[in-house]
Structure formats: structure tokens, C-alpha cells
Amino acid sequence: MTAGDLELPFFASTGAEVFVPGASYDIVVADPVFGCPAAPPAEAEEGQALLVSRGDCTFHEKALYAQQSGAEAVIVFNNTTGTINMTVEGTTPITIPAISITEADGDAITAMLTGEAPTGTFTGELMSVDNPTGGLVSDFSSW
């Protein structure tokens, strides 16, 4: 994925539509930033992807909030270091693409939002990302 001059790796969510390579969206931040359904979402404009922060509600609720706003995609950025392997599966089907990005990449996109909304383009290009905990036993494992 590219956003402005940035080339960003992302993780596709299960339970959502897949991004079409070459698809572009104007990226806007959710209000509130967590994208949780405390109130009906504001109307998104055609061609927008909603950027939301991890936290306060489930990934399904965030994707549903974006979908109900009329956004054409949702991008969840982590609220701590590391990556998110998320699913947006739930009772209501999610019919828009949903991805996750790192906290640093979310902060970089947010910093670009002082002016015109940056365009996020999904290139379809595969990227490799180091996993600092790859090959280690999870802290919640009983093994």
C-alpha cells in the first residue's frame, strides 16, 4: 500500500472483502478515532477509507462503523508496537475491505492529514515484514 510518499506493509483481515490491486481511497480519520459505535457514524464521502485506532471495541464493530458510514474501506492502526492479525467476522457481514497497519504507519498517515487527505493505493505488491516474536512461544501458551 502507498500513502503519499510512504510505502506501507499491511495485513489483510479475515471476514472482509479483499482490496482490488490498484484501488485508491482518500484516507480520513474516524471521529471518534477509535471508530466505535457510541453514536451513528458521520457520513463518509465516496472513495474514502476510514482510518481508526485499535482499542475500545472489537475489530468487527470498527469495520461495521466504517461500513455504515459509507466508507469504502477501513484501515485499523495499532495502538502499540507490533502488528495485528485481526478478523472482522461477526453477525453482520462486512462487505468492505479491512486491513491493519502498525502504530508507526498510522501515526505517519495521521501526520499527513493536516492538509488534503492522502490517497491510499493498494498496489497488490507483496512485502516482507520482520516479526520480532516469530518462532517464540506466546506468553499465553501453556506449553
Instruction: Please tell me whether residue 132 adopts helix, strand or coil conformation.
Output: coil
CA contacts within 13 A on the Cβ side of 42: 11
Q: What pLDDT was estimated at residue 57?
A: 93
Average pLDDT for residues 88-97, to the nearest whole number?
95
142 pLDDT higher than 80: no
Q: What is the pTM of this model?
A: 0.86
**What is the DSSP annotation of 60-101?**
HHHHHHHHHHT-SEEEEE-SSSS----B--SSSPP-SBEEEE
User: Percentage of residues in the chain with pLDDT exceeding 70?
Assistant: 92
Between 56-60, 79-83, 90-94, 97-101, the lowest mean confidence (pLDDT) is in: 79-83
Q: What is the mean pLDDT of the chain?
A: 87
> Model confidence over 7-65: pLDDT tens digits?
888 888 899 988 888 899 999 988 888 888 776 677 888 899 999 999 999 999 999 99
Q: d(Cα 7, Cα 2) in Å, to the nearest integer? A: 4
Q: What pLDDT was estimated at residue 44?
A: 83
User: Residue 25: which of 47, 4, 52 has the closest Cα?
Assistant: 47
Q: What pLDDT was estimated at residue 143?
A: 64
Q: What pLDDT was estimated at residue 49?
A: 93
Instruction: Please tell me whether residue 109 adopts helix, strand or coil conformation.
Output: helix
In this prediction, residue 100 has a pLDDT band, given cuts at 50, 70 and 90, of very high
Average pLDDT for residues 68-75, to the nearest whole number?
93
Q: What pLDDT was estimated at residue 40?
A: 64
